[in-house]
């Protein structure tokens, strides 16, 4: 913390937690998630990441 600037320290901490995935994990752990729901969520996340990567590849190739 520089010059007792609390606001800036909080902003830096929030940014690091956002990048780290801590906020998302806290949100997911707020309620119990059945194993079947967890499996379905992970599958949809995987599909979303794959589609995003595919779009990036197409744009990189010039389509």
**29-44 confidence digits (pLDDT tens):** 999 999 999 999 999 9
Record the tokens describing residue 35, joined without a space: 């194993």
In this prediction, the residues of the chain whose per-residue pLDDT falls under 70 are: 1, 63
- pLDDT of the residue at 4: 84
- Domain extent for 55: 33-63
**Based on C-alpha coordinates, what's the Rg of the chain?**
18
Residue-level pLDDT at 54 = 95
User: Distance between alpha carbon 17 and the CA centroid of its chain, in Å?
Assistant: 10
Given this model, what pLDDT does residue 31 score?
Answer: 94
- Per-position DSSP letters for 33-54, written without gaps between them: --HHHHHHHHHHHHHHHHHHHH
Q: How many residues does the chain have?
A: 63
The confidence score (pLDDT) of residue 3 equals: 81
20 and 6 belong to one structural domain: yes
pLDDT value at residue 49: 96
37 lies in the same domain as 27: no
Tokens of 25: 């994990």
pLDDT of residue 34: 96
- Contact yes or no for 12/20 (Cβ under 8 A): no
């Amino acid at each position: 913390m520089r010059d007792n600037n609390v606001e800036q320290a909080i902003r830096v901490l929030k940014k690091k937690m956002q990048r780290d995935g801590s906020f998302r994990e806290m949100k997911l752990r707020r309620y119990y998630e059945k194993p079947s729901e967890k499996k379905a969520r992970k599958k949809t996340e995987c599909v979303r990441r794959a589609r995003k990567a595919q779009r990036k590849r197409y744009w990189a190739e010039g389509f």
